[in-house]
Amino acid sequence: MFIQTEATADPARLKFLPGRQVLPEGTLEISDRKDAACSPLALKLFGVSGVAALSFGTDTITVTKESGDWQYLKPPLLGIIMEHFMSGSPVVLAPARPAVAAGAVSAEAQAIAETVRDALRLVIDPELGYNIVDLGLVYDVAVEQGGGVTIEMTTTTKGCPATNYLKEGAGDAASSVPGVEYADVRLTYEPPWSPEMMTIDAKRHLGIADDGGW
């Protein structure tokens, strides 16, 4: 697999062309790591120090850096992109919405989704002793019409003994948010969870090095 890079008019932005389909249509703008929960690839790319934002197109991945030299940023970014596509994992966990459609989401729904994520941080994985959001176990929070919230999440391993505890805790936490009438918690193992999905704070709490080692 050969990945090309292409400079842009903005020296802080670099375009990567993996030669594979990234999105079936439209674009997906990810402004920070908090918005990257829907994409395993985005989570890994944000794990590279200096990455500030991402933009996925049908066949492009544009990385915006906040610091660092592309000479040093490119190798780990290329490695992550190549490993992801070679693994066959999806770029996003649900069909990506075109950027235009994102603006159609009401401000109220966005606010509820953010509040639900904050509430989910109160749910602690008993094995790792840290909240399920920063551990990367919450893949998506979608606010539906009528006050419904759908939470897509996973566990660190299949058959995790705390699975029911975590699902019930997530449902209770989401239901406690004003404006939420009911919560539907859905368990998935695609893609499988990995330590790379954790936030920097979670990794530091668990003593995980930047390279993924303990």
> Do the Cβ atoms of 189 and 158 come closer than 8 Å?
yes
> Do the Cβ atoms of 193 and 154 come closer than 8 Å?
yes
Q: What pLDDT score does 144 carry?
A: 84
88: left (phi over 0), alpha (psi -120 to 50) or beta: left
16 has a pLDDT exceeding 90: yes
Q: What pLDDT score does 98 carry?
A: 41
Q: What is the pLDDT of residues 161-205, one digit of tens each?
A: 999 999 999 999 999 998 888 899 999 999 999 998 999 989 998
C-alpha 196/C-alpha 205 separation (Å) is 14
Label residue 111 by pLDDT band (50, 70, 90): confident
130 has a pLDDT exceeding 50: yes
Helix intervals (H) in 38-152: 40-46, 70-87, 99-102, 107-120
14 has a pLDDT exceeding 90: yes
Q: What pLDDT score does 100 carry?
A: 37
144: left (phi over 0), alpha (psi -120 to 50) or beta: beta
Task: Determine the average pLDDT of the residues in 75-86.
Answer: 92
Is 0.85 topped by the overall pTM?
no
Label residue 210 by pLDDT band (50, 70, 90): low
Look up tokens 């991945």; give the residue. Answer: 61
Q: What pLDDT score does 101 carry?
A: 44
211 has a pLDDT exceeding 70: no
Q: What is the pLDDT of residues 38-78, one digit of tens each?
A: 788 998 999 899 999 999 999 999 999 998 899 999 999 99
Q: What pLDDT score does 147 carry?
A: 82
Q: What is the CA radius of gyration of the chain?
A: 17
Q: What pLDDT score does 209 carry?
A: 60
Report the mean per-residue pLDDT for the chain. 87
Domains and CATH numbers, the chain: 4-87 (3.30.1370.70), 105-206 (3.30.300.130)
C-alpha 121/C-alpha 130 separation (Å) is 8
Hey, what are 203's tokens?
């990794």
Q: Using a pLDDT cut of 70, give the percent of the chain over it.
A: 92
Q: What pLDDT score does 96 carry?
A: 40
